[in-house]
Amino acid sequence: MTRAYRIAMHSQTQRPSFLDDQEIARTARAVLAGTMLSAQDEEFARPRLYVSGPYQGRYVRGELHHLRQYSVTDSGEVLPPPVLMGRVFDVSTDDQGRKTETELTGEGLDLLCLTEAYTIAEDGTVTSASSSLRDVLTSPVYREVLGGQTRFFFHFPNLFFKKDGFYCLKHSIFEQSSLPENPAGGQYVVQAKCAGRPLHVALQRRG
């Protein structure tokens, strides 16, 4: 029997309440404490100067962290649904070259998270395999207060694979109205990117 996974909903706003889940809340606090961090894609980890949007005139970097582990059922569904927390930092440098980071938590940030599938070959090579998912899925940002500050959460229910194989899911966050200096084909709009653990997909054939 497949276990049902549900995120509690705020009764008045009908939006997810992630911190009511003990595992998610515990992992989120560990992320803030620096004791449980997801590996970040180095290509997108460095600060970038932005020339438009809420980030204009700032050097900004981001982080994205998985808040619980998941696996794939024989129907192809990813359970429990992935939940991630994003963090965005304003990076400034003083006259002596010392860097200071200030976390940005403002309501004006129009963040979006994208999930993509990648195949893992026997030699460990990872290649894009977006057609292996039923849809290319995105999550809007959900805001909740943790540790005295607003935090950014993303949620991916109803995520299904449609092909057998070995995969990993990669997630990226974007501030949709901010453009960095000298973007290369638009790819540097990404503030952060991280990958989940390897997944084995073996769909049950019916009939």
pLDDT string in tens for the chain (207-residue length): 344 455 554 444 456 689 999 999 999 999 999 999 999 998 888 898 888 888 899 999 999 999 999 999 999 999 999 999 999 999 999 988 899 999 998 778 889 999 999 999 988 899 998 889 988 789 999 999 999 999 999 999 989 999 999 999 999 998 888 888 776 555 557 889 999 999 999 998 765
Side-chain-side CA neighbours of residue 148 (13 Å): 1
Alpha-helical (H) ranges within the chain are: 22-33
State how far the Cα of 69 lies from the Cα of 66, in Å rounded to an integer.
7
Contact 132, 161 (CB under 8 A): yes
Predicted TM-score (pTM) of this structure = 0.88
21-201 to CATH, choices 3.10.450, 3.40.720, 3.40.50, 2.60.40:
2.60.40
How far are the Cα atoms of 39, 75, 87, 146, 175 from residue 192, in angstroms, in the given order? Answer: 10, 30, 9, 21, 10
User: In the block, which residue shows the tokens 């808040």?
Assistant: 67
**Domain range list for the chain:** 21-201
CB atoms within 10 A of CB 176: 10
